[in-house]
Structure formats: C-alpha cells, structure tokens
Amino acid sequence: MRTAIATVCLSGGLVEKLHACAAAGFDGVEIMDADLVAAYESPEEIRALCDRLGLTVDLFQPFRDFEGVDEATFADNLRRAEAKFDVMQRLGADTVLVCSNVATATIGDDEVAARQLGELADRAAERGIRIAYEALAWGRFVDDYRHAWRIVEMADRPNLGTCLDSFHILSRGHDPSAIEDIPGEKIFFLQLADAPALDMDVLSWSRHHRLFPGEGSFDLTAFLGHVLRAGYAGPLSLEVFNDTFRQTDVVRTAAHARRSLTWLADRTAEAAGWSTDRLTAAAAPLAVDFVEFKGENLGPLEEMLDRIGFTFRGRHRSKPVRLWSAGETRVILNEKARHEAPQLAAIGVRVDDAAEAADRAESLGAPRVFRRTYAGEQDLRAVAAPDGTEVYWNDQPAESSWVAEFDGGGPEQQLSGVVDHINLAQPWQDFDEAVLFYSSVLGLAAESSTDVPGPSGLVRSQVMRTDDGVLRIPLNLAPPTAPVPAQHVAVRCDDVVAVAREARQRGLRFLPIPDNYYDDLAARFGLDPSTLDVLRELDLLYDRDADGEFIHFYTPIVGGVFLELVERRGAYDGYGAPNAPVRLAAQRENGTVTA
C-alpha cells in the first residue's frame, strides 16, 4: 500500500508540512497550488526537498473551473493550464487534479466538456502530464463521479482519467458500487476522507468538517473495497479539510493521519478476505482491570474511597502506590507525581493476549509507555492515548498477578462493584484523534454523539464502547475556551440507595443536587412521593427509558477527578444524559475539593 496526504490537511508552511509527512511515514503528497504559491521556496527547491525526504509529488491540486465554458474563457483556461504545467514540470509532478467547474461553466453539455478536457489532455500529453478529473459534490453541471467518468470516457485520451474522492461520493449518498465499472487504470487518483453525519450544505461540510478515516460515519471500508476491486493500484491519499487539524501540531496531526490509513487498510483487507495490510486482530477487552489516579496529594481521594466503602488493599512493595478495591473495581493511587493535582492517569484492560494487543497498538503508531518494574513484578505493556492517558493490557487475573505486589491491606470487601464507565474529558484538539485511537487500538465502537448544555458552553459527548458494555469510555469535548473538565470513573453496584446511605453515614460529601431538579423529576416521570423523597434526601439522580432505570450520584471534584456510583435497573443502557447539565452546573457552583 502506498500512502499520500494532501498538504491542505496540515498546519504550517509547505516545508514544515513536507517534513511532517515524511516523519509520519507517508510515501507521497498532494501539493495544493495555494501552498506552493505562498512558499518562498522555488518549485525546484520543493522538488529537491521531497527527494531528500523520500516523498513523491503524487498530485498537483487543484486546477479549477476549466470545462463547460464559452470559447473566450476556454482560450484563457488553456493559457492558465500551460502556466501551471510549467510549474508542475519544475516540481516534478506528473498528475494534475482538475475538479469539475463550480463557477464559470455556462454550458451543461457533456460533449463540450469532453472536447475541452480532451484538448487540455492533448496539451498535457506533450509534457508527459496526466489529467485526473474529479466531480465536486457542488459542481455546476458535474457533481457525480459517474457523470465525470462518462465525460472522461467520451473524451477518450490515454492521459485523461478520473479522480475519486470519497467525500463527494458518500456525502451525496451516491452508490459507490458503480466504481467497479471503471477500469482501474482509468482511476488516476483516490482521495479519502471521512465525515460526521451533518445536515448542512455540502460545500461547508466539505471545507470544514472532513475527518480522517475511522472518525466519522462514512463506510470507507466498503468504499475502498470497490476502488480496489476496480483494479486501482495508486496511492491511498488523504484529503481532509478540517478546521481543527489545520491548526494543530503538524507532526502530531500527520502521524494521526497516517494511523487512519493503517486502520482503514486493515479493515478493508479483513472485509475482503485479503491477507495483505493486516494488523493483529483487536483483542476484545474482557473487563476493566484497574484505573489509576495520579497526583501529589491523593489523601482526599483516598478518604472518599474509604467513605464510599472501598477496601484498602495495601501499599506497593517498591513504589509510592496504594491499592483500593471494591469487588472487581481496583483503584490505584499513585503519588509519584510532584506538584500535580489529582488526575486520571491510566486504565488497565483485561484481554486474552496482552502481547498481541500491545503489538497491534504499536503497529498503529501508538506511543509506547515504559514503567519502572523490578524483578519479580508483573510487567504490563502500555501505550499512551492522545490525551496522555495510559492504556495497559493484562492477560492474567488481576488478583493473582499484579495485585499480589501490594501488602498491608485488608482482604475483606465491604462494597462490591465493577467499573461501569470511564469518562475522559478531551482537550478540544484531541477529540477526533481519540475516537480513532479507541476504535483502532481497543476495537471500541462509537455511539452517536450528543451535545450537553453546560454552564461554560456545549459539551460534546461520544461514547466509545464494547458491544457487551464491559468497557465504556464516554469522551467529552469541552468548548475550546472552557477549562478541560474533570474526568471521572463510575462504579456500578447492585443497590446504589444503600451505598449512598452508608456513605453518607460515614461522612462522604456528595455533589449537592438542587431541589428544582426533583420538582422536574416529579413532573417528568410521575414518581411516587416516597421514592422522590429518598432521591432528594441522598442527592441521587434518576433517569428512565423504555428499557429500564438508572440511579446515580457523584462526589465533589478533587483536583481534576471525581467518582460516580451508579445502578442500572432492567436493560437501561445509557448514562443519565438528561442529568448531565444539572451535574455540570452543580460542579461549577460547588467548586473543587482541594487537598
């Protein structure tokens, strides 16, 4: 598989972009005309740099508004084209993207378009240049890849082919299966982009909201399958116009982009039953092994765990680390971090084969994390997620592996619980990368995203989960101007009312819930007054849908983290989303418990 990326995907100047593309391991680039125009380096210098970096210039793009025009405009368009062909020869690019006319076309006649493109191709042929004609979704007369292909066929020139762009095809809901009717050698170029399902005009959608494969809702696996079955043998090239990626760190975004192609190639090969470009299979998470909080002073958090009913299991033999548990919920408190407020540092996942899971993560370019381990201690492999959260794999039962490294605690369990979900707040620029990370590295599926109104703006929430729900990671995206919200771990138990009552008796502080909330609950659900009284008395939140009920409560925030206790009744599968605005507002009013 050869890979390429369009320079429009990235931030920075052209030279910086080319360095980042090479560092990420791309084979080639699509150079956007505008990026070259704005560079001080000559086309010859850019060409030499690409040579040194081992990059080929696979496409020069785009040449706009060429076909379907009157004769005077056509003559001027040929003059423009000749000037760009000069640049391409200096740049060492042999394929130019001509996208369907959106502005100056006045003649909606395929014969005219074919004749004009044919003449352009003949001029290009004299210089060994190929023309790739692409239907833009908002083209004036040509907005469908099948139409662009008919015109290319009609013009019938060896150096005129088509460029397929997944965005223009899938955004319009056009059936991609007819791609297989195009001879592979006439598909001169392939541009790949994903996108979220948005109901908006297609030009704005395309120019601002494209995503890397695996981050949106297009079925790119099926799409690429059609293209490869047609016999296309050129590079898989990313063309992702996205407001966030155009301003994030160029080296990191290029690496992120490259990971999306590794993932897509693997998915496509698997779907088609091919043995090339495969990764080791994603090991299905079987359970949450542990969560780890890190910070300078974890005393207040420890006190909370104690009051909730967690059991102290002991100190680590060789590290400043303590373990608390409640049934299958294991919480590691790590005080190694100096001058840091408590934060969620790591997630441990139980799998069948930890080495295989870690190998897969590393082939996807996830950065490996190293931890000091001593002889006789379990060495768990780990990588860092985009926001820095470490993900560990363990294929041994926790209690008979790393848990044995802790001494001095009690074995008795007061509370029995499992980790229900782990809520990871994402810095605004990491969100889409995190979606790809959790789907590609851990094999989690994305549920549809929702927007929660909070006091500092809308919080976008997207749950990444296994089908069976043993691992659920809601990702939250706060507005760019708001502070990154706290992260939390939710523990599921069988009787949250009893847990809340006992915790209150032990002196646990709860996140106080306003009275108005309970008046609203009464109105929405018609709960009987005694149930409502219990909820109100214990600061419990409630939700119900056709499948069941959800009752939960929150602790205050400590540093950057807090805890939630939940009970699911019946087949309720949500997270109490209607209560999230109330929680966000209450957290803002009640500030943070400091150490």
Ligand X SMILES: O=C(O)c1ccc(O)c(O)c1
Question: Tokens 């690019």 label which residue?
Answer: 93
Q: Which of the ranges 159-167, 213-221, 447-455, 572-580 carries the binding residues for Mg ion, by CB under 5 A?
A: 159-167
DSSP state of 555: P
From Mg ion, ligand X, none, interface partner of 383 (C-beta below 5 to 8 A by class): none
Minimal distance in Å, beta carbon 397 to ligand X?
A: 51
Minimal distance in Å, beta carbon 134 to Mg ion?
A: 5
Minimal distance in Å, beta carbon 99 to ligand X?
A: 5
Is the CB of 137 or the CB of 558 nearer to Mg ion?
137
From Mg ion, ligand X, none, interface partner of 136 (C-beta below 5 to 8 A by class): ligand X
Binding residues for Mg(2+): 421, 488, 564
DSSP state of 211: B
From Mg ion, ligand X, none, interface partner of 496 (C-beta below 5 to 8 A by class): none
Bond into 512 cis (ω within 30): no
Is the CB of 162 or the CB of 389 nearer to ligand X?
162
Minimal distance in Å, beta carbon 191 to Mg ion?
A: 4
Minimal distance in Å, beta carbon 6 to ligand X?
A: 8
From ligand X, Mg ion, none, interface partner of 52 (C-beta below 5 to 8 A by class): none
Question: Tokens 């605004």 label which residue?
Answer: 428
- DSSP-assigned beta bridge partners for residue 56: 28
Binding residues: 134, 165, 191, 239, 421, 488, 564
Is the CB of 99 or the CB of 228 nearer to ligand X?
99
CA-based nearest residue to 165, from 138, 136, 132, 191: 191
- From residue 593, how far is each of 297, 386, 496, 506, 507 by CA, in Å? 12, 27, 23, 17, 14
Is the CB of 189 or the CB of 310 nearer to ligand X?
189
Interface characters, 96-135, with ligand X (x: CB under 6 A) = -x-x----------------------------------x-
Residue 435 phi/psi, 5° resolution?
-60, -45
- DSSP-assigned beta bridge partners for residue 390: 346, 384
Minimal distance in Å, beta carbon 595 to ligand X?
A: 51
* Residue 165 touching Mg ion (CB under 5 A): yes
Minimal distance in Å, beta carbon 239 to ligand X?
A: 5
Minimal distance in Å, beta carbon 97 to Mg ion?
A: 7
Is the CB of 202 or the CB of 384 nearer to ligand X?
202
Interface characters, 59-98, with ligand X (x: CB under 6 A) = --xx----------------------------------x-
* Residue 58 touching ligand X (CB under 6 A): no
* Residue 239 touching ligand X (CB under 6 A): yes
Residue type, 263: W
Minimal distance in Å, beta carbon 152 to ligand X?
A: 16
From ligand X, Mg ion, none, interface partner of 206 (C-beta below 5 to 8 A by class): ligand X
- DSSP-assigned beta bridge partners for residue 31: 60
CA-based nearest residue to 78, from 31, 36, 38, 126: 126
Helices 110-125 & 71-91 angle (0-180, nearest 10):
30
Q: How many residues contact ligand X, by CB under 6 A?
A: 11
Interaction residues for Mg ion, span 213-242 (CB under 5 A): 239
Is the CB of 191 or the CB of 476 nearer to Mg ion?
191
Using CB positions, name the residue nearest to ligand X: 62
Residue type, 420: D
SS3 label, residue 253: helix
Helical residues (DSSP H) of 156-201, grouped into ranges: 166-170
Binding residues for a divalent metal cation: 134, 165, 191, 239
Q: What string of H, E and C letters represents the secondary structure of 261-272?
A: HHHHHHHHHHHH
As a 3-state breakdown, the chain gives helix, strand, coil percent values, each rounded to 5, of 35, 25, 35
Using the rule CB under 6 A, which residue among 206, 237, 487, 587 binds ligand X?
206
* Residue 343 touching ligand X (CB under 6 A): no
Using the rule CB under 6 A, which residue among 136, 331, 380, 551 binds ligand X?
136
Interaction residues for Mg ion, span 175-214 (CB under 5 A): 191
Bond into 62 cis (ω within 30): yes
Decide: 389 and 463 in contact? Cβ < 8 Å. Answer: no
* Residue 33 touching ligand X (CB under 6 A): no
* Residue 345 touching ligand X (CB under 6 A): no
Is the CB of 99 or the CB of 477 nearer to ligand X?
99
Calpha distance 491→50 (Å, rounded): 52
Calpha distance 147→131 (Å, rounded): 16
Interface characters, 177-196, with ligand X (x: CB under 6 A) = --------------x-----
DSSP state of 7: G
Using CB positions, name the residue nearest to Mg ion: 165
Residue 462 burial (C-beta neighbours within 10 Å; 0-12, 13-18, 19+): buried
Is the CB of 198 or the CB of 418 nearer to Mg ion?
198
From Mg ion, ligand X, none, interface partner of 30 (C-beta below 5 to 8 A by class): none
Entry field: residues in the chain: 595
Decide: 379 and 373 in contact? Cβ < 8 Å. Answer: yes
Helical residues (DSSP H) of 309-455, grouped into ranges: 354-363, 431-442
Using the rule CB under 6 A, which residue among 52, 207, 278, 506 binds ligand X?
207
DSSP state of 283: P
* Residue 165 touching ligand X (CB under 6 A): yes
SS3 label, residue 181: helix
How many C-beta atoms lie closer than 10 Å to residue 560's C-beta?
20
Strand-by-strand arrangement of the 390-394 sheet: 368-369, 382-384, 390-394, 343-350, 287-294, 329-334, 321-326, 311-316, 406-408
* Binding residues for ligand X (CB under 6 A): 61-62, 97, 99, 134, 136, 165, 191, 206-207, 239
* Binding residues for Mg ion (CB under 5 A): 165, 191, 239
